[in-house]
A and B are shown apart, each in its own frame.
Chain A
Amino acid sequence: MDWAGWALFGLVATAALTAALIAAQLAGLTRLDLPLVLGTLVTEDPDRARVIGFFIHLCAGQGFALGYAATFALLNRATWWIGALFGILHVAIALTVLLPLLPGVHPRMASLRAGPASTAVLEPPGLFALNYGVQTPAVTAVVHVMYGVVLGLLLSAD
């Protein structure tokens, strides 16, 4: 297990994923804004939430990178395409499990069961995060595959 590689390259891959997601947002491809979604766990102000959410996302990215690095170590090899395959698995879990479950724990996210007493204003992502735009699953898949490829490449070169 390459601990130094995990510590550095996990940050690089997460930063690349976040940058690609923000670029997709600015290009009008999706409304999914992970720093905002994560940061509003802590604060209501969208601008502050994005900053806080960015760091939460970095931490989460490090956590996932630990899984990638450990699996590469178990397989005794790290390549870009194995990283890409992990990325596909990662995004499948994110879109079908993690994001749909989020309304259950997020204090500022409405759920599809929200009623009149709900003061939460962050829209729930729905299945495959389709509530954030029809291209959201594709964008999310691309950035997660990119995350896996970056980790695979950097850890193989290490």
Chain B
Amino acid sequence: MTGGSGGTCPRPPASISDYGLLGDTRTAALVAADGGIDWLCVPRFDGEPLFGRLVGGPDAGTFRVGPGRPATVVERRYRQHTTTLETTWAVGSGRLTLTEAMVAEISGRLLPTTLIVRRLSAEEEAVDIVVEFDPRLGARHSRPRVHRRRHALVCEWGSLAVSLASTPELTVEPGRPTSITVRPGHAVTLVLAVAHREPLIHVEPAAAWELLRADENRWRAWAAEIDGSLPFREHVVRSLLTLRLLTYSPSQAPVAAPTTSLPEDPGGVRNWDYRYVWPRDASIGVSAFLSVGKPEEAHGFLAWLLHASRLQRPRLPALLTLHGRHVPAERALPGWPGYLGSVPVRIGNDAAGQHQLDGYGWVVDAAWAFAQKGHLLYNETWRAVRGFADLVARHWQQPDAGIWEVRTPGQHVHSKLMGWLALDRALRIADTHPLSDRQRRRWQMARDAIATEIRTRGFDPTAGSYVRSYGSPDLDAALLVLPLLDMDSIESPRVRGTINAIRDRLSAGGPLLYRYPPGSDGFPGAEGAFLPCSFWLVQALARTGRRAEAVDLFQAMLEHANPLGLYAEELDPATGAHLGNYPQTLTHAALIQAALAIRDAPAIDPEPA
């Protein structure tokens, strides 16, 4: 092994799908295929970026370890049923492999809250590598105070400190690439530890590697508990692992995505901060985890939902922080160049103040999923559900921002459907839980009134389908929830007509769908196909007995995953590029739901498509 420091390493921007996810269920890092960690917020998902190059440019910091000269990635994968990422490059006639993960299970042990382990090993011949460690904290890319203590490099910013240790010991300087040679049989291990408002805990690289291996065993055991009869099981397990990595363990809240401002329209303004929690995602997660044999995760999601919404009950906020607090107001980070020039880079999210009627439907449906599995709801949970149902019964006629969070409220048919769902599922729960006759009658009347209004004002008889909002000819892919509700029979021409119309008129080519007609949301610029909608279509097809079509579509969607099985929110139908924040909880939850729908669908199609 030889050492030396070189100049800077200019790097072209990686495509979104080039990134792999490392996570510890408290925060997450994105690693490019060249070995660069270009995104990591500390000490949790919504903390300040420590490495922000992804949307902050070269001044926002990175931590790259990889080949010192151009190399080809020959394999990139997660070790089976774990969260350990392996990237192998061909370098000359040798091979270099980077194996890395964050240590997730630290409870009850003297370990740092964030611990990243990265090991480089060479095969066939010695390989020159580069270590580029440039931590910059926060919106201003603050440089640290740097010390060398014991065998580690320590970087400090007041209450936050980061240490970098390695075996063999390297002389790494922040912001200055270090070149070394890795020889076969002599791996290099680097360990990054983060301390926030607590002393740094140093972990020897050899011990950190053992922690990584122990974590792998825990993840394998976790995956082994997942229902073995699932179709496309490997893909579903990867989505479940991703969903779990994006669930903040201290509160059990699923973050929508670990990133902010990855653009829906590269170069445009559709850049949002997704490092918060949408009750909708948590509700879908409840059903998904329950249905695959993971009741504890489902219970955690439901507990978070009820705890987080407590201050504002019976109103359900559209989104909350990881700890259930108000989401900060949206603001742009000055001087941040954005991903491929997509500005502004935003933190905070103004959708938090919106009224979104559909949220109540998702949450009450999650409680119903729980009750349906034979779990009796606690009195407190049932009180909360009753409060949500009462609010829907009183306010369902008001316009809302809808699932797509348009900034001008309207009479969205999907929202009304979800309002109907909230009341219907609350009534079903009431079959086994106490409810006064008066309240029951009020809910029944409101539920029936919603159904009547949807059928009269939300249906276009000419097109034979439900529409996006009252009086509009447009479609909305969110209406694909229709066959899941039981408002109209799944054999109903209205249901079939809506599914077929969405498939035809919102098609973005192949299995892809736009969520609504492009350009109809009031924001400048275009957007891609919305990936959860395609999985909702799979679900709708499977639910209405068109299993073969559902399977074909699901398989086609799997082709659009990145090589690691990860999905963003959207996809450019022309180039296949992933768009939007990444990886996305909603997309992965929808994938799981789609696979479950295929599992539960009748084996024989009752009629051809």
Contact = CB atoms under 8 A, between A and B. Distances in A.
16 contacts: A45-B378, A46-B378, A47-B378, A112-B26, A112-B43, A113-B107, A115-B26, A115-B105, A116-B104, A116-B244, A116-B249, A117-B105, A123-B304, A124-B250, A130-B323, A131-B324
Contact of A117 (B107, B250, B310, B324): B107
B599 interface: no
Interface stretch (B149-157, B295-303, B337-345, B489-497): B295-303
B553 to A, nearest CB: 32
Contact of B379 (A31, A47, A121): A47
Given A114-B250, A133-B311, 10 more contacts: A110-B252, A112-B250, A113-B113, A116-B104, A116-B105, A116-B219, A116-B222, A116-B244, A123-B250, A131-B325
A14 interface: no
B188 to A, nearest CB: 27
B457 interface: no
A140 interface: no
Contacts of A113: 26, 106-107, 113, 250
B307 interface: yes
B505 interface: no
Interface string B302-323: 0110010011110000000001
Contacts of B197: 127
Report the interface size class on chain B.
35 or more
The majority secondary structure among interface residues of chain B is: loop
A134 interface: yes
Report the interface size class on chain A.
20 to 34
Interface in A14-56: 25, 28-31, 45-47
Contacts, number: 85
A111 interface: yes
B250 A134 contact: no
Contact of B252 (A45, A46, A121): A121
A123 B251 contact: yes
B455 interface: no
A130 B197 CA distance: 15
Contacts of A156: none
B533 to A, nearest CB: 30
B311 A121 contact: no
A5 interface: no
Nearest to A117: B105
Interface string A117-143: 111010110110011011000000000
Nearest to B241: A116
Contacts of B106: 113, 115
Interface string B435-463: 00000000000000000000000000000
B49 to A, nearest CB: 19
Contacts of B607: none
A126 B251 CA distance: 11
Contacts of B312: 28
Contacts of B252: 110, 121
A134 B312 CA distance: 13
A134 B380 CA distance: 23
9 A-B pairs closest in CB distance: A114-B249, A121-B303, A115-B105, A131-B323, A47-B379, A46-B380, A114-B250, A110-B250, A115-B104
B325 A121 contact: no
Contacts of B424: none
B338 to A, nearest CB: 30
Contacts of B244: 116
B588 to A, nearest CB: 16
A116 B25 contact: yes
Contacts of B76: none
B186 interface: no
Contacts of B300: 119, 121
B246 to A, nearest CB: 12
A121 B299 contact: yes
Contacts of B25: 114-116
Interface string B169-191: 00000000000000000000000
A39 to B, nearest CB: 12
B218 A126 contact: no
Interface-central residue, A29, A118, A121, by most chain B CB under 10 Å? A121
B132 interface: no
Interface-central residue, A29, A118, A134, by most chain B CB under 10 Å? A118
A63 to B, nearest CB: 28
A29 B52 CA distance: 36
A70 to B, nearest CB: 34
Interface-central residue, A31, A45, A112, A133, by most chain B CB under 10 Å? A112
B24 interface: yes
A47 B383 CA distance: 11
Contacts of B250: 110-114, 118, 123-124
Given A115-B25, A115-B104, A28 B311 contact: yes
A127 B104 CA distance: 23
A127 B196 CA distance: 13
A110 B44 CA distance: 15
